Amino acid sequence: MADRHNLCVNPALVNDGTGWAGEAAPTRTAVSGFDRPFAARYTSGTFIRTPAAPATAGLEYTVSVYLRPANFSGGGTIYFEWLNAGGGPIGYPSASYTVTLNVVSRASITGVAPEGAASVRLILDGINYSLNTVDATMLLIEQAAGVEDYFDGDSPGAAWDGVAGSSASTLPGGAQVEGEVTQTHAVALSAAGVNTAVGAAAVTASAALTAEAVAGRSASLMAAVEVFAEATVTRTPIVSTPGGWWTLLDIAREAAADRQEERDRVPTACPNDGEPLAAGPRGELHCRFDGWTYPRDWVRA
């Protein structure tokens, strides 16, 4: 998957309200209910104009913004405002949008930049903000054939291209995909200080297995291994290429086989005091002092 780029340099008013305008200037306001803490609040005027971003003629763009009206539901028209290199408008393709009272809604439009286009921004009209206050934020200006999940430099896996909050941002393509393990990490699973008597209780050891996926992001897995042991046991499984996550299954199968082998082994000592077992007249094994007998009293969890 290709990297994604939010071309807007002030998508969520992180530092200030630069670029957010309209018939009347909005106020940068702390908000809740959005995925970002600030919005442009419009309390007068009849249209919104967003910050602009670079565009190239002949390429397809999708631009979207999140809105929430405070007084009643409404809607109107959303426009591309294509601008030439001198900042002059050269086209206003449009679509419709609707918003619901006190609900965060998303308005978007998709189209191809016309000849001569150098930048693009949104205009939204249809609401009288002196009667219906509207908050707007989370502007995504992207070269894309349709609307996709919003992101900016504060999104997981993404980064600001320049000043945090006041620049374009990039989301690496691998940040949204899962992949095979491409790097090798050794992880030791150990059970130390185990009772040396046969029949000793199980000891559980766990360790975090970390793998680097194709995206370059980390994926963590906790693996627990139950060990029946006669002495200290250390195991070092390897997560490696090309097996990927299937290698983890092999580790689990190997641990299960080892456990079964321990279960099937005939004991040689009493589980309670570690004294050697004695043979009875019919071949049974027993403890001389407490009467424990194999196989009658032999129980494995």
**Residue 251, pLDDT score:** 80
Cis peptide bond prior to 69, omega within 30° of 0: no
Below-70 pLDDT ranges, the chain? 174-247, 281-283, 286, 289-290, 294, 298-301
Distance between CA atoms of residues 136 and 129, nearest Å: 12
CA distances (Å), origin 131, targets 46, 74, 126, 213, 272? 10, 11, 12, 51, 83
**Residue 72, pLDDT score:** 96
The answer to whether residues 51 and 19 touch, using CB atoms and an 8 Å cutoff, is yes
**Residue 179, pLDDT score:** 37
Distance between CA atoms of residues 228 and 213, nearest Å: 33
Burial (Cβ within 10 Å: 0-12, 13-18, ≥19) of residue 114: middle
First to last CA, the chain: 48
Write the CB contacts of 226 (distance below 8 Å, at least 6 apart in sequence): 202, 203, 204, 255, 259
**Residue 282, pLDDT score:** 67
**Residue 211, pLDDT score:** 36
Cα 45 to chain centroid, rounded: 39
Dihedral over Cα of 267, 273, 279, 284: its sign: negative
Dihedral over Cα of 189, 193, 198, 204: its sign: negative
User: What is the Rg, in whole angstroms, of the alpha carbon atoms belonging to the chain?
Assistant: 33
Distance between CA atoms of residues 19 and 166, nearest Å: 11
**Residue 300, pLDDT score:** 54
**Residue 243, pLDDT score:** 52
Determine the residue type at 243. Answer: G
Q: pLDDT digits over 48-104, tens only?
A: 999 999 999 999 999 999 999 999 999 999 999 999 999 999 999 999 999 999 999
Q: Kindly report the average pLDDT of the chain as a whole number.
A: 79
For tokens 């998709």, name the residue: 110
Domain parsing of the chain, residue ranges: 4-176, 185-265
The answer to whether residues 66 and 151 touch, using CB atoms and an 8 Å cutoff, is no
Cis peptide bond prior to 26, omega within 30° of 0: no
Does the model's pTM come out above 0.75?
no
CA distances (Å), origin 166, targets 22, 63, 90, 159, 160? 20, 18, 26, 12, 8
CA distances (Å), origin 98, targets 106, 215, 217? 9, 37, 38
CATH of 4-176, one of 2.60.120.260, 2.130.10.10, 3.40.190.10, 3.90.950.10: 2.60.120.260
Question: What is the enclosing helix (H) or strand (E) of 96?
Answer: strand 94-99
The answer to whether residues 123 and 49 touch, using CB atoms and an 8 Å cutoff, is yes
Q: How many CA atoms lie within 13 A of 255 on its CB side?
A: 22
What one-character-per-residue DSSP string does 158-224 give?
Answer: -EESSSTTSS-EEE-GGGG------S-EE--EEE-S---STTPPPEEEEEEEEEE-TTS-EEEEEEE
**Residue 1, pLDDT score:** 77
